[in-house]
Amino acid sequence: MAESTTQDKYRLLKQVFGYEHFREGQEPLIDAILQNRDALGIMPTGSGKSICYQLPALLKTGTALVISPLISLMKDQVEALREEGVRAAYLNSSLTPVQHQSVLQKARAGEYRILYVAPERLQAPGFQTFAAGAPFSMVCVDEAHCVSQWGQDFRPSYLAIRPFIESLSCRPVTCAFTATATPQVRADIIELLGLQNPEVVFTGFDRKNLYFEVRQPKNKLETLLQLLQERPEQSGIIYCSTRKNVEAVWEALCGRGYPAARYHAGMSDRERQENQELFLRDERSIMVATNAFGMGIDKSNVSYVIHYNMPKNIENYYQEAGRAGRDGQPARCILLYSGQDVVTNQFLIEHAAENEELEEKTRLLVQERERERLRAMTFYCHSRECLRGYILRYFGEKPPPYCGSCQNCLQHYEQADITIDAQKILSLVKRSGERFGTKLIVDTLRGSKSERIRRLHLDEQTTYGLMHDTSETRLREIIQFLVMEEYLQVSGEEYPVLRLGPQARQVLFGGRQLTMKLIKEQPPEKKAPEKSTQESGDPALFERLRALRKRLADSQKVPAYIVFTDAALREMCVRVPKNSYELLQVSGVGHAKLERYGEAFLEEINDYLQQSAGYSETIKS
Ligand code: ADP
Ligand code: ZN
């Protein structure tokens, strides 16, 4: 590049934007554009993508056309540019016809260095006539992932961008930017926008100062209050999935004296603006909001982002969580998950208004992909691997297995060789004819003497009792892992049956070694101090659970054992589960029963725990 251009580049960075140095990724993108090479920048929110096209726009002759879908952002950008003395304008649906004409007229006269347009405008005849004769210095596509049906915000109007660029008499250099793109979406952007041999800059999504955690609390509000108590004075955002939740949480916080503001689409523009200001100026340290809040907001001292509900995909989650810790200080991203969040999101996906304009076939496709993304988000909440690693892998990176700064990495894991265990399990599944569910397979391997096992001749299997010293929890964990990794699969018309999966041969005959991360098993004496309670649990708890079972059974007019058997209650007394996941480990508790009775039983157990904690406090004092 000519020396003068290089000097100009630094001069403008300082003069117009007020910065001394380029940030990671900015310079190669700017250089490419200045050399008339197409460019694609995939950089996290807040990394400074705007300068990558604004600066070259000022060095090139002609008007830079910036295509952006976000009307409010456009306005902010243009105002900021004007403040810096750059002639800029925008064309979108917020303008009156007169304003619109006036902007077009000035644009025709070449008065602007940068002109923002909404993608829908490209097809308007008035705009096309103007564009045909306009000497554009470059075309820049912001939020470029919107072009892909694999992306989370697919916009059909983005598909018109490529034909538009190709219709221009002289093709200007084209660049595209996005903050989130899976490898699939990245490929789509290049293809569907027709980028020619672009300079691709991918700065990586890892935000090292963010800590990730997922909780599945019985009572979200209580957990939230507890989290807030741990960080008074600090600024944070609480994201809720619905306006109703925002209102409820906001009221609960205000009622307890927390300085909280709220933000959702049901409020007037003025109210929203005011609340946003209060938060930005730190007059209210907590913002309770739906995902409508945050676009283009650059508040650096947000030290936590708590999700009161699970978002519908990882893209949204990471973008929202990523609003924490912009100042580089340690910040926490905590997601409060419940099974209901999955149901709510499914509903939102089925009834998405923005998809109604799509053709039926495309709409179904988009919906299916949204469901797929929801599954990935749900898996995140259940994942026991490194949470940061999970997110980064989702975006196509290859992070190390441990980050040391997420909940899962901090809990103690051990990498266990499960090859032999897997061989035993797979071989039993195969030899017993792929007819049984997890429970019977587990019982057989552990050598259960139950009548059912004998009746089904499972005690005659060579693997019968071979894993008697493996705990049921661990055995179930291993089976779950084998299902996730496709060594096993679950299917069946009437009830779920374990069958060999496509990968099973590798372990049975291919000599493949299998390892998985397992939570280190606690030495038993630490789990329960008294031997008698360790074996059968606290009889007082057992009585409480029995009474609860009776109430539930009576109200539904079914026999008590239909709710849970005595054995299941006894196991609950031993395990004392604190959340749905732990409750599921109790034999006799499947997903259906968890749905129906889980909450009531967890509540009872929690109640019991709190009372007995209070009791031992009294004794000690
Ligand atoms: P993005 O579009 O990637 O989300 P922005 O372009 O809005 O990010 O930039 C985020 C913030 O970073 C803005 O306040 C911007 O002024 C600032 N910024 C951009 N480039 C630099 C730089 N080279 N040095 C310091 N700050 C920068
Ligand atoms: Zn981790």
**This prediction's pTM:** 0.60
Of all atoms in ligand 1, which is nearest to the CA of residue 47? 3
Three-state SS for 135-152 is: CEEEEEECCHHHHCCCCC
- Which ligand is nearest to the Cα of residue 179, counting in written order? 1
Map tokens 């397992």 to a residue: 518
User: What radius of gyration do the chain's Cα atoms show?
Assistant: 29
Which one is predicted more confidently, 226 or 589?
226
Q: What H or E segment, with its residue span, contains residue 428?
A: helix 419-431
Mutate-to-test residue for ligand 1 from 15, 23, 77, highest number of ligand atoms within 8 A of CB: 23
Which one is predicted more confidently, 583 or 422?
422
Distance, CA of 8 to CA of 16 (rounded, Å)? 11
| Residue nearest ligand 1's atom 19 by CA | 48
Distance, CA of 309 to CA of 290 (rounded, Å)? 10
Q: What H or E segment, with its residue span, contains residue 195?
A: none
| Residue nearest ligand 1's atom 5 by CA | 48
Distance, CA of 567 to CA of 579 (rounded, Å)? 19
Distance, CA of 56 to CA of 116 (rounded, Å)? 15
Which one is predicted more confidently, 382 or 310?
310
Mutate-to-test residue for ligand 1 from 22, 27, 298, highest number of ligand atoms within 8 A of CB: 298
Per-residue pLDDT band at 387 (split at 50, 70, 90): very high
Q: What is the pLDDT of residue 165?
A: 95
Q: What is the pLDDT of residue 132?
A: 87
Per-residue pLDDT band at 412 (split at 50, 70, 90): low
Three-state SS for 238-255 is: EECCCHHHHHHHHHHHHH
613 Cα: distance to centroid of ligand 1 (angstroms):
51
Distance, CA of 450 to CA of 424 (rounded, Å)? 20
The answer to whether 69 and 31 have CB atoms below 8 angstroms apart is: no
User: Which residues hold their Cβ within 5 A of ligand 2, which is an ion?
Assistant: 386, 388, 403, 406, 409
DSSP character string of 250-283: HHHHHHTT--EEEE-TTS-HHHHHHHHHHHHTTS
Separation in Å, CA 521 to CA 424, 425, 517, 518, 588: 21, 20, 12, 8, 22
**215-233 pLDDT per residue, tens:** 999 899 999 999 999 888 8
**435-480 pLDDT per residue, tens:** 999 999 999 999 999 999 999 999 999 999 999 989 888 898 899 8
| Residue nearest ligand 1's atom 14 by CA | 298
Q: What is the pLDDT of residue 619?
A: 54
Token pair recorded at residue 558: 């079914």
Per-residue pLDDT band at 409 (split at 50, 70, 90): confident
399 Cα: distance to centroid of ligand 2 (angstroms):
10
Q: What is the pLDDT of residue 38?
A: 97
- Chain centre distance of CA 105: 44
Per-residue pLDDT band at 524 (split at 50, 70, 90): very low
Q: What is the pLDDT of residue 178?
A: 93
| Residue nearest ligand 1's atom 15 by CA | 48
pLDDT for residue 205 is more than 90? no
Q: What is the pLDDT of residue 620?
A: 52
Q: Return the amino acid letter for 73.
A: L
Q: What is the pLDDT of residue 259?
A: 95
Q: What is the mean pLDDT of residues 263-274?
A: 94
pLDDT for residue 530 is more than 60? no
Q: What is the pLDDT of residue 84?
A: 87
Residue environment code for 297-335, b if the CB has 16+ CB neighbours within 10 A, otherwise e: bebeebbbbbbbbbbbbbbbbbbbbbbbbbeeeebbbbb
Q: What is the pLDDT of residue 528?
A: 38
With 0-12 / 13-18 / 19 or more C-beta atoms within 10 angstroms meaning exposed / middle / buried, residue 336 is: buried
pLDDT for residue 519 is more than 90? no
Per-residue pLDDT band at 584 (split at 50, 70, 90): confident
Q: What is the pLDDT of residue 533?
A: 47
Per-residue pLDDT band at 526 (split at 50, 70, 90): very low
Per-residue pLDDT band at 272 (split at 50, 70, 90): very high
pLDDT for residue 50 is more than 90? yes
The binding-site residues of ligand 1, defined as CB within 6 angstroms of any ligand atom, are: 19, 21-23, 26, 43, 45-51, 298
Please state, as a whole number, how many other Cβ atoms lie within 10 Å of the Cβ of residue 114. 23
**316-345 pLDDT per residue, tens:** 999 999 999 988 889 999 999 998 999 999
Task: Identify which of 577, 567, 568, 570 has the alpha carbon closest to the alpha carbon of residue 538.
Answer: 570
| Residue nearest ligand 1's atom 24 by CA | 19
Q: What is the pLDDT of residue 537?
A: 72
